[in-house]
């Protein structure tokens, strides 16, 4: 089972401000602030951003992404709209999708550095 994930960001302050707003829509709070990293979660840091000022944007087609589960389709939509309002790019508008084992409601964004982040809600769960 995965305990936590992290993504590299080129500007910690800008990305921390971005993720504070965007992850707040999913019920995650900013819990830890350190010199080169910030952690977000509900009770402990589950999602970390780590400053890498010399990095270049992530390639659009790496095939990797991080998916965060939330309790409603409305939260997925708020995550998406907040992200786009604060500089993210659309990588998949909110809507129903067919997954490998079940259908779900999801949305995809590319953060300020091109990291692909998805929010999902599984109706009935």
Q: 1 pLDDT exceeds 80? A: no
Residue 103 lies in a domain: yes
CA dihedral 22, 48, 8, 60 (to 10 degrees): -50
d(CA 96, CA 86) in angstroms, rounded, equals 24
Residue 70: CATH number of its domain = 3.10.180.10
Residue 107 lies in a domain: yes
Residue 58 lies in a domain: no
Query: Measuring CA to CA, how many Å separate 28 from each of 3, 66, 111?
Result: 15, 15, 16
- In terms of residue numbers, what domain contains 71? 5-53+63-121
Provide the pLDDT for residue 99: 83
Residue 75 lies in a domain: yes
Residue 12 lies in a domain: yes
The values of phi and psi at residue 44, to 5°, are -150, 160
Provide the pLDDT for residue 125: 65
Count of structural domains, the chain: 1
Residue 73 lies in a domain: yes
pTM, to two decimals? 0.92
Residue 26 lies in a domain: yes
Residue 99 lies in a domain: yes
Q: What is the pLDDT of residues 50-95, one digit of tens each?
A: 999 887 766 667 768 999 999 999 999 999 999 999 999 999 999 9
What is residue 70's DSSP assignment? Answer: -
d(CA 122, CA 38) in angstroms, rounded, equals 28
């Amino acid at each position: 089972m995965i305990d936590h994930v992290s993504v590299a960001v080129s500007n910690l302050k800008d990305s921390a401000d971005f993720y504070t707003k965007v992850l707040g829509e999913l019920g995650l709070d900013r819990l830890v602030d350190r010199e080169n990293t910030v952690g977000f979660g509900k009770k402990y840091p589950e999602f970390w951003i780590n400053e890498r000022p010399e990095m270049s944007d992530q390639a659009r087609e790496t095939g990797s992404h991080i998916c965060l589960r939330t309790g409603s389709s409305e939260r997925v939509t708020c995550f998406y709209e907040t992200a786009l309002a604060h500089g993210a790019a659309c990588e998949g508008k909110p809507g129903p999708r067919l997954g490998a084992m079940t259908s779900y409601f999801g949305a995809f964004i590319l953060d300020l550095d091109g990291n692909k982040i998805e929010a999902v809600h599984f109706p009935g769960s």
